[in-house]
Every structure is written in C-alpha cells, then in structure tokens.
A and B are shown apart, each in its own frame.
Chain A
Amino acid sequence: MAKRIEGKNLNIYYGKFLAVSNVNFTIAPNSVTAFIGPSGCGKSTVLRTLNRMHEVIAGASVQGKVLLDGDDIYESGIDPVAVRRTIGMVFQRPNPFPTMSIYDNVAAGLKLQSGRIRKSELDAVVEKSLRSANLWGEVQDRLNKPGAGLSGGQQQRLCIARAIAVAPDVLLMDEPCSALDPISTMAIEDLIRVLKKDYTIVIVTHNMQQAARISERTAFFNLAGVGQPGELVEMDDTQTIFTNPTDKRTEDYISGAFG
C-alpha cells in the first residue's frame, strides 16, 4: 500500500554541520515527486532521511519528524531496519550484489530479512518483481548468472526489482538514471510511471526534463551559499514549478540563469 509522507521541521546534520534546515513538505500516496536543485543543496540528504539511511553515516543526525501515514519514523524505539523494509531505495549507481546471481539479487531482501521462505513462494516473488521492473523478458533464461554481468541499464532495473521484491510502501530513488544512457533512462522512466500505481515515489534528479516528464509534484532545493545549509525553496505541482514558479530563485534555476 502506497503511503503519505510528511516532513516536519527537518534539520539535518553531518556532525555539527547543519546541512539542511527547516524543511517541511507533504507527499501524496501514489504520486511521483521530484527533488531538484543544484549540487550540494541537500536534496539527496533529505531523501536519505526519509528511510533513515542518513544516520548510517558516522556522526549524521536528524531533528524533526518524518510521518509515514501519520506515524513518526524517528520516534524513539522505532527500529530503522523496520522503517527501511517499508521504504525502499534505489541508488545513483547500479549496485547489484556481486557475489549473487540475478535470482539471488532479487530474492536477497526477502531471504536476508526473514530467513526461511518456500522456494515456490520465492520463485513467484522474483518473477513478479522482475516483470514489474520490466526486466523479466531479458533475463528469464539466465537467472542463475551473476547480476554484475548485465548492462548498466539492466543492472539498475535489477536494483529496482530488488527494491520492490520486499514490497515496500514507498520507493526512494537517488538520481537513478544519472549513470545510464538515454534508452535505459527512458526504460526506467516508463517503469516509474507504472510503479506509481502501487508505490509512492520520490526521485532526486539533476535532469529537469526528467522531473517535468515523470513527476506530478516538484520540490526545488537551494542553498544560500557555500557553508550555508540547504533549504526547500518551494514545492508545487510540476506544471506550476516549470511554468509559473512563485519564487524568483526557482525561476532562475529552471531557466538556467544559474546551476
């Protein structure tokens, strides 16, 4: 089930350094939301706070709330491992597990989360996930070959299949196409349009056309200067952001005046 995400007064730190200050937003279920902005503005950092991946980095910490259908994932006593099972993530560079076959890559989440699962059940999940990731046709006859032997675009779709195999409610994507060629990018974008039926998707992208093509809502992040914290400048319907933004900085960024 896709879920609503709300960020409330988020202040995100690396050690003592305030990287992103006072971010507030609401992301509707079954929608695609794009985070755009210049490098270093904190959009990936914000994305990583949404499934508690930020705190994996030594010294990193978060203040504020992230509500998933009203439940704060940062409430004390909440297990970050459980949060990540609900909120999946796809990374910038395709990162299939090198020691595992295509099949095992997709099955990894389920196998490592819960141990024993019936083979027939696992087979079904692997096929369904690979079909959802639009990769089944290309790999069905070589499921026991290493995942690292696929092309970059295929590897990224394998990573998406791996992420959705554990049935999350939300899918976070951190520049999922930046290492891919245009054809593979198109395949991933088509996939995102299909996936939003079942998931809430948040995608960080440097490609503004991509944001315009696939997202319903767009959030523009910026930072005042070097050493200053990043901030959420505005968030609106993608149409509005790209045609009639409220903030001058958004307009400057969209029109290519900087960044």
Chain B
Amino acid sequence: MTATLTRSARPTVFARPSGARKFKNGLATTLVTAAFLVALVPLVWLLWTVISKGFHVIMSSSWWTESQHNQTQKTPGGGALHAIVGTLEQVALCSVISVPIAILVGIYLVEYARGPFARVTTFMVDILTGIPSIVAALFIYALFVSTFHHLRSGWLVSMALVILMVPVIVRTTEEMLKLVPNELREASYALGVPKWKTIAKIVLPTAFTGLVTGVILGVARVAGETAPLLILVGYAQGMNANLFGTKFQGSLPGMINDEFTNLNTATGGSAYHLDPNGKRVAGGAINYAPDRMWGAALTLIAIVLLLNVIARFVARFNKVSQ
C-alpha cells in the first residue's frame, strides 16, 4: 500500500523505444526473414528445375500408359507406367504393414508404457530413425536372400522400406498423441468409458489430422529410396506388376537412376559426354535419357503430393462441420 503512495511521479508522455532496442528489433526481424528466404530458395529452385525439365515429358499420354520396354536413350516415346506401378505396389505393401504397427507402437508408448521398458523402446525407435536405407536393404538381403535363399523380389523392397517407415510414423504418432490434452482423457474416464475406448473414440479422432500427416511423412520418406531397390529387386525397363515374382521390377527411383547412368554412356559402347540439361550430343544424335530422368522425378513428387492432398481431404472430411 505504501509503495503506491510513495511512488515517484511518472513523466506524462510515454518514452519512445530507445535506438538500441529499435536496432535489435530490426536486426532480429531481418535475420528471421533472411533465414526464411534462404530456406525457401533451394525449395523453389528445386521445384522449378524439376517442373521445367519434366513437365513436358509427363504431359505426353504415352508417359502414363507405356513402359520403357525395348527403348534406348536414342529412341523416342515410351513411358513410366512400369515404374509408377512398381513404386505404388512397393510403397502400398510397405504402408499396409507399417501404418498399423507404427500407430499401435505410438499408442503404446504414449498411453500405456511406464518405466524402463518404455524408455528402451523410445531409444530403439530413435536409433531406427537414423538407420541408413542401404543398411536396412542389406539387413533384408542378409535375412531373406542369404539366409532363407529367397530370390530378389519387389516385396523384399517393401520389407526394407518398413524398417525405414515405422520409426518415422511412431515418432509423429507419439508427438501427436502427446498434444491431445489430458483433460479430454479424464473427461472420458469420468463418464465411465474404459481406457481402450477412450483411446479409440476420443484420443485418436482428436489426433487424426496429425496421424495422417505422420503417415504421409512416412510415405514421402520411403517413396524415393533407391538403395533397397538396387539391392533387393533391381530395375526392369518393361512392365512387371508382380510384386512377389522373382524378376526385376521397375520403380520411379530405379528409373531415375537408370536414366542417369544413360546420360553419359552410349549403348553402342562408345562413351561420350552429355550435359544433363541438354539433349544434343556432339555428333548430333538425340539422347532421351534426361527427359525421362526429370519426368520420373516429377512423377515421384507428384505422387507424394497427390497422396498428401488426398490425406488432407480425408482429414477434413473427418472433422465436425463448422
């Protein structure tokens, strides 16, 4: 009380911010904006590069309806259907296995796990997140091909991708479930709803959008992996829709890799240099490999983007209409 009475009279006009504070504010604002732009530049640049070099390729109708069967870099035409089918099959099988496992593990870690076992599990998931794709591929090769003498096959790629996808989805599921306020769980318990039903009907729907994001992140993580393809199935130019067969199977990353090796090497055996940007070769011959490479890259991005849009749509559909 006395403090209020003895407080010295304040100046009637409010002081303006000091020069030093204005400077610091300006500096911080500039730094943050600059960081944003620096982060944006490579992203926009990359997208522009891929679109500008690949767009005209994927706009041809044969791109979506034909394979590269019997094509060389000197023959025009053909498409990426074999690669699209292979990638979709491999990623689909991987997702069907990974998503339920990963979401259940995430639920276990957040809602049930207590004590050292939970900490060990979290730690193992962290380690798994950092496993390089080629190591996952070698592990699957060692297990199925070397030990069980299974021949190389598309589904083995899916198995390697599972190792890469599960930890990504587990981590996002964990984070998303932690974001669900405890008050909602308590509200549900207080209504006499059992724990598992609280999780299934209250917690999961509340976190649904976040869980979908996690799944999409997982798909995006594995769709472009190349090492498992090279080690576990190889690349075929022709159509092979049999995920469980023992022949080479086309895939988008495999196609990008294959066309990339065709940039510098002629099929006739005489090597000549070619700029990845240009089509013209010194001798005047045409090389279609760069087009196909960029086309496959753009197709891969487009597929991930399309899945993303579908997932957003599903997530919105799930919400109560405002």
Contacts and interface: CB of A to CB of B under 8 A. Distances in A.
A93 B181 CA distance: 12
A98 interface: yes
A178 interface: no
Interface string B260-298: 000000000000000000000000000000000000000
A100 B203 CA distance: 12
A234 B151 CA distance: 79
A112 B191 CA distance: 9
Interface in B172-196: 181, 183-194
Contact of A82 (B187, B192, B197): B192
For the residues of B in contact with A, the DSSP-based class is helix
A58 interface: yes
Contacts of A101: 320
A113 B193 contact: yes
Contacts, number: 85
B206 interface: yes
A223 interface: no
B183 A146 contact: no
Contacts of B193: 81, 108-109, 112-113
Contacts of A149: 322
Contacts of A146: 320, 322
B205 interface: yes
A219 interface: no
Contact of B206 (A81, A97, A108, A112): A97
A144 B322 CA distance: 9
Contacts of B192: 81-86, 109, 113, 166
Given A97-B202, A101-B320, A91 B187 contact: yes
B114 interface: yes
Interface residues of A, number: 33
A112 B188 contact: yes
A89 B190 contact: yes
B316 interface: no
B169 to A, nearest CB: 21
B150 interface: no
B206 A99 contact: yes
Nearest to A58: B114
Given A85-B192, A109-B191, A98 B184 contact: yes
Contacts of B64: none
A56 B191 contact: no
Contacts of A98: 184, 206
B188 to A, nearest CB: 7
A51 interface: yes
Nearest to A148: B320
20 contacts: A51-B190, A56-B185, A56-B186, A56-B189, A81-B192, A83-B192, A89-B190, A91-B183, A91-B186, A91-B187, A91-B190, A97-B206, A98-B184, A99-B206, A104-B320, A108-B193, A112-B193, A112-B198, A113-B191, A144-B320
Closest 4 pairs (CB-CB, A-B) = A85-B192, A109-B191, A89-B190, A95-B183
